[in-house]
Amino acid sequence: MAIALTRLGHQTGWISKLGEDEFGLYVQNVIRGEGVDTSRVVFDDQAPTAVFFKERMTNQDPNIYYYRHQQQRVCYLLMIWTKTIFNRPNTFI
């Protein structure tokens, strides 16, 4: 959603916790490369970045693959702020 709103001309930001690993850096860099503010992303050196794959299947249920550290608590919080939505600065969706 943050990328879509950025492409529509809004100022957006993304808050998340990623693993301090190559995949976590990749995720942050892709989102930042789309113009989204990632300054509030934090990195955790104790838990790798979780990965979720969903295989598209024709006329059947998809195969789902979810890889994460067993002790890791998935805590993604997507907060988007914009100066124009609802005519209030820093509105969170």
Quick one: what percent of the chain has pLDDT higher than 70?
73
Report in angstroms the alpha-carbon separations of 43 from 18, 49, 64, 93: 5, 9, 26, 23
Q: Is pLDDT of 51 > 90?
A: no
Position 91 confidence tier, pLDDT thresholds 50, 70, 90? very low
pLDDT at residue 21, as a whole number:
92
Find the domain containing 72 and state its range.
Answer: 2-92
**Mean pLDDT for the chain?**
77
pLDDT at residue 69, as a whole number:
67
Position 70 confidence tier, pLDDT thresholds 50, 70, 90? low
Tally of structural domains, the chain: 1
pLDDT at residue 54, as a whole number:
82
Indicate which CATH number applies to the domain containing 28: 3.40.1190.30
Q: Using an 8 Å Cβ cutoff, are 38 and 17 in contact?
A: no
